[in-house]
A and B are shown apart, each in its own frame.
Chain A
Amino acid sequence: KAGVTQTPRYLIKTRGQQVTLSCSPISGHRSVSWYQQTPGQGLQFLFEYFSETQRNKGNFPGRFSGRQFSNSRSEMNVSTLELGDSALYLCASSLSLGRGFNEQFFGPGTRLTVL
């Protein structure tokens, strides 16, 4: 079974631009979560999508948004990029069969550099 895939793997943008990152979850997984990883702040939860609806949201500004499609694929968008948005953006998928935490499988991430 193929793992979580993320595209692109590397991205360079300039301040003020916007960016869209894509995530394809493991087949059959309905939940997709996004995390930001930086050396200073570590791994921080951005949001989770389940059945095309945002189910949980972390403490990030509105410039960070996402969506999920009917095939469970997800995209996240960052508008008006700032230097501090440079990070590794990780996507994780899970079966999400019931209440509580379900094991999350992470993709390799997209390395975003903002110049």
Chain B
Amino acid sequence: QQQVKQSPQSLIVQKGGISIINCAYENTAFDYFPWYQQFPGKGPALLIAIRPDVSEKKEGRFTISFNKSAKQFSLHIMDSQPGDSATYFCAASAGANNLFFGTGTRLTVIP
């Protein structure tokens, strides 16, 4: 059973556009929600993370929106660039060093 559901599976965005990836979870014990970026041949790299006591967190062009009551969170990439083309994973953790990952979103930013 997938503990974190992620959509869409793939996303194509024009350069300068906004990329939006959504995730949902059921386990209310989750208390840490990171997003990872993975390029081909590389391991995932932490992009940005949020805790459930905050509704939004912004770092540069990347913003996480968090809706605790709906048990949903999303990643917004503003002014998307071709260099952002990668696979993005949302994840969740319940107070331990093990992550439950979403299924991933392959983002392609067209120049």
CB neighbours (8 Å) of A58 from chain B are 98
Residue B60 CB within 8 A of the other chain: no
CB neighbours (8 Å) of A105 from chain B are 46
Find B44's partner among A50, A90, A96, A100 (CB 8 Å cutoff). Answer: A90
Find A45's partner among B31, B95, B98 (CB 8 Å cutoff). Answer: B98
Chain B interface category by residue count: 20 to 34
Residue B89 CB within 8 A of the other chain: yes
CB neighbours (8 Å) of B89 from chain A are 42-43
B31, B42, B101, B104: residue with the most chain A Cβ atoms closer than 10 Å = B101
The answer for the CA separation of A4 and B97 in the assembled complex, in Å, is 16
Find A100's partner among B31, B46, B102 (CB 8 Å cutoff). Answer: B31
Contact stretch, chosen from A14-22, A77-85, A106-114? A106-114
Main secondary structure on B side of the interface with A: loop
The answer for the CA separation of A55 and B102 in the assembled complex, in Å, is 23
The answer for the CA separation of A58 and B94 in the assembled complex, in Å, is 13
CB neighbours (8 Å) of A42 from chain B are 2, 89, 101-104
Q: Which residue of B lies closest to A102 (CB)?
A: B97
CB neighbours (8 Å) of A107 from chain B are 43
The answer for the CA separation of A104 and B89 in the assembled complex, in Å, is 14
Q: How many residues of A contact B (CB 8 A)?
A: 28
User: Are A106 and B44 within 8 A (Cβ)?
Assistant: yes
Interface bits B78-111 vs A (CB < 8 Å: 1, else 0): 0000000000010101011111111110000000
Q: Which 6 A-B residue pairs are closest in the complex by CB-CB distance?
A: A106-B43, A43-B101, A101-B93, A101-B32, A45-B98, A42-B103
Query: B interface vs A, CB < 8 Å?
Result: 2, 31-32, 34, 36, 41-46, 49, 89, 91, 93, 95-104
> What are 30 A-B pairs with beta-carbon distances under 8 A?
A4-B43, A31-B97, A33-B98, A35-B99, A42-B101, A42-B102, A43-B44, A43-B91, A43-B99, A43-B104, A45-B99, A45-B100, A48-B97, A50-B97, A56-B96, A90-B44, A94-B97, A100-B31, A100-B32, A100-B93, A101-B31, A101-B32, A101-B99, A104-B97, A105-B46, A106-B36, A106-B43, A106-B45, A107-B43, A108-B41
